[in-house]
Amino acid sequence: MATLPLNAPELTDAKELVGCGRRLAEDRRSAPVRAGPRLGPFAPTAKTPYKEGAMNATPRSLLSLLLAASAFTLFACEGDGGDGGPTADTFITSDTAAPSDTKGPVDTATGDNRAPELERIGDRVAIVGEPLVIVVDAKDPDGDTLTYSVFGALPEGARFDKAAHRFEWTPATAGTTVFLTFVVSDGSEFDRETVRIEVSAQGQANAPEFVQVGDQQLIVGADYQLALQATDADGDRLRYGYDGQLPSGASLNKDSGLFRWRPAADAVGPPHRVAFTVSDGELSDTMTVRFVVTDGGSASDAPPVFTQTPAQNAVVGQALSFTVSATDPNGDALTYALGDGAPSGASLAGATFTWTPAAADAGLTYDVDFSVTDGTFNALMTVKISVTSGQTATCSPDVDEPNGVASEAKPIAVGTVERNICETADAYDVDVHALAVPASTKVVATLAFDGAAGDLDLALMDAAEAFLAVSDGVTSVEEVSWTADAEVTVYLVVTGFGLEPLAMDYTLTVAFDAPEVCVEDAYEDNDTPATAKPLPETEALQICAGDVDYWTLDVGCGQQLEIGMDVAEGSDIDMYLFEHADDEDPIASAATEADFEYLEVASTPTAGAYLLGVIGYPHSSMAGSYSLLTDLSGGCIDDTQAGSARGSALTLGGAAGELSGLAICCSADWFALDLAASDQVIAAAVVSGTAAVSLLALGPDGATQLDSAEPAASVSVGFTAGSAGRYYVVADGSVGSAYGLEWLVEGAAAECTAMSCAQYYVCGDDGSCVVDYCDDDHSCPNGHVCRDSYCVNPCDTDADCRAAYACKAFANGDYCGIVGDRLAGQGCWYHADCQGSMVCVDSACVQL
């Protein structure tokens, strides 16, 4: 369902705790953990350890500090390596590539607790005046609760919501570049990625890019899966696909990019090439992966296997050196190479990597790709390298120390105190302050510090360990507020986190106010998607502390939707728009500190009742009035020709024909062809204007893909009917795409020629199309020769080559080869990676 960033995990027993806090809590079953109330965006979050490999203390978190022991005892956790606890040398673990989710064959060994893994974000481009939103997601193989944070100097006006793991920023000036490191932690281990954000004055479409994977080895009868990943500098929603057909029995989830296959015995033999595609609706990228299927015994030829290199920690000014290692099942000689992500100045000599970080690298994390080849197959491995400055600030404990637990808390009163968080390489510092609050009094506590030195958070809890309010933002000021009904003593807790030991002064200001009474508007109860009310035309709307407002509005297909929200001065209220009430992620949002929030959907992807959620920030304490302004304009008018599903597909009659005036609105266009066995079909779409359309050819079941073409201004698909029946062509694209469709149906295939086979196939000796994989010239049929494991035919010009091929200049002659997307000088494995007539020489695309 549509979920706003307002709910903390419900910690009802010790099993919900993280890291070694979980271990201690489970040992104290006689003292069950009491959970505080649901707190919203500022729910306590586990912190990332600042120093890797040098301490035996648990990662700090309000969660573990306040809940791990019922007597509120701060603890240290010895690195015994059991039950998921950290050890002295494993605060950072490597990204591992297992058979179920891998870049290439990698030997891995995991302990009891496995590190979470961030979903790749990639570098981004932000446009002046337009909101940039990055939602940081991760998966944890153990199912642990994950928490998120960010390091680096946040640009002015940016905000990172830790509970929603959502970064949002609307840049005001072009020409700037920002580096931010996003971190995910399971309380014991963590993963992180440094993202480069470049600010541009004008928007320009950027194509998505695959995260490269190597050749894969599979075993007959064993379940296999590969999670494709791609990044998009524009943050566009991505769809995965493939050219041609998948191996028999294989499937691909086009939303998630998850490829699954359990190969049968007849899959043993030449490698199966699959050309995966990823598209943002306009531009696309292609990546070819070779799958080698064996029967579980010794393979006649198989990819090399990397031994996973653990994540590395580098220090500014100090040389980092490590050696990567791989084995080859066939004993072939191996050659290593440095791939994408390597920092400036890094080098690889043989299998040994060397690099000395500069001062500008401090705080950054590099995902460095290494490749290894046996001359035929390739494997990839990513090693994460994190850089610290190596400089430790000095400080002296403040006058209240020790005050790391409630029993040692020193009393404070209304006013201001100056204290510090003073840490060493072996110990964290947490400050707990006791505050006596009169009855019917509102407490307002403000924590101020220098955010450039690290991040501090502020929490308010009672003697029963229940959280009353928490502020864990990433700005230099944190504030909590809470109203006491009766006289009570509460505790203000200050914690810090950073990539290195902290030495941070802070100012804590406490004030008492009279309780405020918030009067809810007349539209309550509308606190859930199920109780959402139609969006009213009124200025009298109100958010109270802990309140959420849900509104519905009816939207047509392809309309431009604009929503403005006028917020009362001094209040921080945000809004999130969902396409459907059960969606987890919004399609648009406005979550800044401005008094006027604005969101826009240029072309609504579906028609129906959209859901708007309004929430205060922080949720537990923010209150204020607001008004909403909406404007809907335009819309997509669908044509009356094509069907919108298999059952309503428009039948294309005759041996040839064309349709004009077609338009794609909020559903794909379906067309049907009634074919005889061996009929050959070509269907082509040509777009009017600047839009892009994709085509998909499907078998009689309406699901089996026969051919596909990613979005472009002119696309075509072709296939041969394996049996008589009804086949389908599906056109899709961005809302409002206008296009025309042409089709041609011919009888049984004529004699096989160099121009008649599909990609990755060549004419065999028997006149049929066969797989183009080869080991040498002798394994190629019908006079073809072997180049880079592809059987190729000679050529004089591009006209001698079929679609998607070019006449490439190899060192020993010109042959038709697949056209890739790599430019001159860029890295490659095969000629098929390189553009035009270029080929791959010494791992680089060159023109011979």
pLDDT tens digit string along 477-488? 999 988 898 999
- The pLDDT assigned to 93 comes to 22
- The pLDDT assigned to 814 comes to 96
Which one of 631, 658, 685 terminates a domain? 631
Among 89-103, 250-264, 309-323, 628-642, the range scoring the smallest mean pLDDT is 89-103
Kindly state whether residue 163 falls inside one of the protein's structural domains: yes
Phi, psi of 52 (to 5 degrees): -95, 135
Kindly state whether residue 14 falls inside one of the protein's structural domains: no
Radius of gyration over every alpha carbon of the chain, rounded to an integer in angstroms:
30
**Residue 181 and residue 243 in one domain:** no
The domain containing residue 572 runs over which residues?
533-631
Q: What is the mean pLDDT of residues 422-429?
A: 83
Match 């500090």 to its residue by tokens: 65
Report residue 99's pLDDT band, with 50, 70 and 90 as the boundaries.
very low
Q: How far apart are CA 491 and CA 433, in angstroms?
A: 5
Report residue 20's pLDDT band, with 50, 70 and 90 as the boundaries.
very low
Domain count of the chain?
Answer: 7
Q: Does residue 497 have a pLDDT over 80?
A: no
Q: Does residue 792 have a pLDDT over 90?
A: yes
Q: Which string of DSSP letters, residue by residue, matches 771-796?
A: E-B-SSGGGS-TT-EEETTEEE-B-S
- Selection from 494, 424, 404, 591 nearest residue 44 by Cα: 494
Among 110-114, 219-223, 227-231, 339-343, the range scoring the smallest mean pLDDT is 110-114
Share of the chain above pLDDT 90, in %: 54
Kindly state whether residue 50 falls inside one of the protein's structural domains: no
- The pLDDT assigned to 328 comes to 93
**Residue 277 and residue 346 in one domain:** no
Q: What is the mean pLDDT of residues 350-374?
A: 94
**Residue 318 and residue 263 in one domain:** no
- The pLDDT assigned to 300 comes to 64
Among 8-22, 293-307, 551-565, the range scoring the smallest mean pLDDT is 8-22
**Residue 341 and residue 384 in one domain:** yes
Check the CA dihedral 262-267-268-272 and report its sign: negative
CATH of the domain at 699: 2.60.120.380
CATH of the domain at 173: 2.60.40.10
Which one of 746, 761, 781 terminates a domain? 746
DSSP, res 20:
H
- The pLDDT assigned to 104 comes to 52
Kindly state whether residue 626 falls inside one of the protein's structural domains: yes
- The pLDDT assigned to 51 comes to 28
- The pLDDT assigned to 3 comes to 62
**Residue 145 and residue 188 in one domain:** yes
Q: Tell me how far apart the 2 most distant CA atoms of the chain are, in Å.
A: 94
Q: Does residue 391 have a pLDDT over 80?
A: no
Does this model's pTM top 0.85? My answer is no
| C-alpha 113, offset from chain centre | 22
Kindly state whether residue 45 falls inside one of the protein's structural domains: no
Is residue 223 helix, strand or coil?
coil
Q: Does residue 165 have a pLDDT over 60?
A: yes
pLDDT tens digit string along 672-724? 999 999 898 999 999 988 788 999 999 999 999 998 888 888 889 999 898 99
- The pLDDT assigned to 344 comes to 93
